[in-house]
Amino acid sequence: MKTIKETSFHFPGQTGFYKGKVRDVYHFPEQLAVVVSDRISAFDVVLPRAIPFKGQVLNQIAAASLEATKDIVSNWVLHVPDPNVTIGIKCEALPIEMVIRGYLAGHAAREYKAGKRILCGVALPEGLKENDKLPQPIITPTTKASEGHDEDISREEILSKAIVPEHIYTQVEAYTRALYQRGTEIAAKQGLILVDTKYEFGMHQGRVYLIDEIHTPDSSRYFYTEGYAERQQKNELQKQLSKEFVRQWLIENGFQGKEGQQVPEMTDEIVNHISNRYIELYEQVTGKKFEPSSEGDAFDRIEKNILKIIR
């Protein structure tokens, strides 16, 4: 099955190009055209094989989620002209990611298991086990690295180092809590728990905008509501929809993105399994059946749909 691993378009009026871990970003004077590829990353490493339909899943979940939260904070989206493309306002990204956690899972659980009881300046109570609900959601920001690993950082460090002005940080902190609450409510209607997620913000003409994607399997972790309490009581793994299963597969095969480690072989079986899990998450989160885009050559389609807007 053909995947969109990378693009190399040249558009009239284009002023720049940036290739991220997953996205190919085409710059124009006032706008960005973002192609969400089928690349997949874990532990800040882009894996060697692309995942069929992953880009479409991410782009369409993000578009729906941004539409459903635009009353909370303005976002960057202007057009979604293609299943894999979003065109929006060019913002100056704040150099932090706002991670919010309602449960002790993933990175937070690994840190807790290692004996840490303070995460990004936030104290965690004793007696928690993996995937327990936290007393209240906590914000655990990270730096936004252009290359390599993002690093945990506290609110106090962000302000003391003037990484973000205090009045702006206070705004994005409030937006983060409101967005997580909305995301939690939307997930609950679909029988899901929004465990943790991240939001990115940028500035445009002096205003804060929500940028990038939200509530996708790349930026969020979901548990199934049904059976959650029973599984916790029995100390069983939670049934979840997120990219964590990819990380776990890598960990089990000796890879955590550390120097000298090799990515395990991605067989067709593994690639198709990951693709199916992404499609499952799309259908669970949106409540809609996934309709794979199959009209002709994907690269030709994407180029034409971007040109329609930028012209």
5: left (phi over 0), alpha (psi -120 to 50) or beta: alpha
- Neighbouring CB atoms inside 10 A of 92's CB total 10
CA distances to 85, 199, 203, 207, 209 from 93, in Å? 19, 11, 6, 12, 9
Q: Considering only CA atoms, which of 216, 188, 193 is closest in space to residue 53?
A: 216
How are beta strands 96-103 and 23-27 bridged, if at all?
Answer: unpaired
Mean pLDDT by 10 residues, the chain (311 residues): 91 96 95 97 92 95 97 98 97 97 95 96 96 98 75 96 97 98 96 96 97 92 95 94 87 92 94 92 92 84 95 81
Q: What one-character-per-residue DSSP string does 99-136 give? A: EEEEES-HHHHHHHHTT--EETTEE--TT--TTPEEEE
User: Is the distance from CB of 39 to CB of 22 less than 8 angstroms?
Assistant: yes
Q: What is the DSSP string of 15-31?
A: -EEEE-SSEEEEE-SSE
Domains, the chain, with CATH or none: 93-242 (3.30.470.20)
The residues near 297 (Cβ < 8 Å, ≥ 6 apart) are none
Report how far residue 213's alpha carbon sits from residue 123's, in angstroms, rounded to the nearest whole number: 28
Distance CA 167, CA 35 (A): 33
- Nearest one of 48, 28, 29, 30 to 38, comparing CA atoms: 48
Please calculate the CA angle 98-210-31 and round it to the nearest 5 degrees: 130
What local confidence, expressed as pLDDT, does residue 245 receive? 86
Predicted TM-score (pTM) of this structure: 0.90
Q: How far apart are the C-alpha atoms of 253 and 263, rounded to whole Å?
A: 8
Contact 201, 94 (CB under 8 A): yes
